Amino acid sequence: MTPQAIDQEFTREPFVPIRLYLSDGHSFEIRNPGLCLIVRGILYIARIDRPSRVTDDMDVIDCTHVTRLEEVEDAARPLTAPARQ
């Protein structure tokens, strides 16, 4: 996939969480495009599963290995529990 096509999804308003599928079978869920950067055809995704906000650990993906992307199905799920009746 081209970097421009990926960026078009990242800059969509309003942003809808997406899942990227790679040619090796891996997938990455993107819920915050602000944690992603595309430089010279390489997509950098900051890792948020670390205990510290200071990190130099990123997933690095060549955009040509992104085979498809799709909206995350549970994106519409509320972030808080529904009110009890």
Selected residue with higher pLDDT from 5 and 57? 5
Closest to 71 in 3D by CA, of 13, 16, 4: 16
* Cβ neighbourhood burial of 57 (10 Å; 0-12, 13-18, 19+): exposed
Question: Does pLDDT of 3 surpass 80?
Answer: yes
- pTM equals 0.77
DSSP 8-state class, residue 14: S
Q: How close are the terminal C-alpha atoms of the chain, in Å?
A: 47
